[in-house]
Amino acid sequence: MFEPSEHRPTEAIVDLNAIQHNVRVMLEQMDDEQKLYAVIKADGYGHGAVQVAEAALAAGAKGLAVSTVDEAIELRQSGHRFVPILVLGLTDPRGIAEIIYYNLTITVSGLDFFAKAYQQLEDTHHLAILEDAKLRFHLKLDTGMGRIGLTSAAEVAEFAKAVEDFNWVDWEGVFTHFSTAGGGPESYIDYQWNNWLELTTAVPESVRLRHYANSAMGLWYPREPKSDIVRYGIALYGVDPKDQLPSATKSPLKPAMSIVSEIVHVKHVPAGTHISYGATYEAADDQWIATVPIGYADGWLRRFNGIPVLVDGNACPIVGTINMDQLMIQLPQEYPVGTTVTLLGQDGQLENHVSMIAASTDTIGYEILCGIGKRVPRIYLTDDI
């Protein structure tokens, strides 16, 4: 298990003020009746789930969303005892006792879960837990994502009738996910919307929450009836869902994470010197070469070798192959050991924006942020919490 490295200068700086700002950007577009749930799965997209949750709730979020029961339990144990936590992924019914004990809201996509969960409580002599609490759940509808959920109004109607036999459950919500709101054909949004309207006709009026808005749907494609919950994910961290650069969209979102390190070694090499594994780089002339302690084990992947890093306002190319723990860069002049190196973020007039890096490496900003390794310490900046 990786632990943060306290004895090297590589750090991920997380600005919690930016998290709060991004929450307020979305809240300004929402009605008072709507609720914002901060999506902090995958350790808050690599930013730190507990810290991001605290910032988002302080800024006005009314709930949290995660992917797994374990992620939800971490939040409960960190002190978030009463805020609603929705587990977006499907869960193992053998964990039913903990789900109810920690007051979690789970996602289901069929009836099998309930029978298996009840049997688990019976087999483990935990049925008494149902005397004080019910299992709260949201039903997932597959309107075109093709991942999980019921796909027809007939299936929903059958589910609604059969679930009445389980008097120990609370059917609180129903939801879906739009697969192209953050990129892809916009016409598919209309296709999914029509499916959503059709499927929800079979949902009983007693189901209190009906939600479909992720970041992209919430920011750009509001519909009527409105989504009772906006599941605010990538935009919470200041990244455009389509990885559009702020300069192109005048986006009000503020990126929350920057990654910085320092020069730990510098040398002057003559023309013809080879650098890094495979000797794939050969200096064309005399050059200043510096070593920076970050590599693919930290999430700065080998395919990022075409992305320059920033030193003293200069874009400095990575030379040779990125190593597991280190990489080498070409400097425009000699800089001393200890000079700051910015891999993600702003330095002077230059910025390495996560969406720019994503476009240059044929991926998405989500993957880059989630891939920053655990041994990179997260340093938190905040004024308001």
Provide the annotated active-site residues: 41, 277
DSSP 213: B
Q: Is the dihedral of CA 260, 58, 76, 37 positive or negative?
A: negative
Query: What does the alpha-carbon distance between residue 64 and residue 338 come to, in Å, rounded to a whole number?
Result: 40
Is 288 in a helix, a strand, or coil?
Answer: strand
Who contacts 114 (Cβ-Cβ below 8 Å, separation ≥6)?
Answer: 93, 108, 135, 163, 166, 169
Query: Among 299, 309, 181, which residue's Cα sits nearest to residue 235?
Result: 181
Per the annotation, does 356 bind a ligand? no
Q: Is 324 one of the annotated binding-site residues?
A: yes
CB-neighbour burial class of residue 86 (10 A; exposed 0-12, middle 13-18, buried 19+): buried
Q: Nearest 5°: CA angle at 59, between 57 and 64?
A: 30
Do residues 266 and 334 lie in contact, with contact meaning Cβ atoms separated by under 8 Å?
Answer: yes
Q: Which residue has the tokens 């340093």?
A: 379
253 token code pair: 């979102």
* Residue 255 CB neighbour total at 10 angstroms: 23
Give 227's DSSP letter: P
Name the one residue in this structure whose structure tokens are 């193992």: 92
Smallest CA-to-CA distance from 239 within 35, 46, 1 is with 46
Q: Count CB neighbours of 155 within 10 A.
A: 17
Report d(CA 318, CA 313) in Å as an integer.
Answer: 15
The 3-state DSSP class for residue 18 equals: helix
Query: In 56-183, which ranges are E strands?
Result: 63-66, 85-90, 105-108, 135-140, 169-175
Annotated binding site for substrate: 147, 324
Annotated binding site: 147, 324
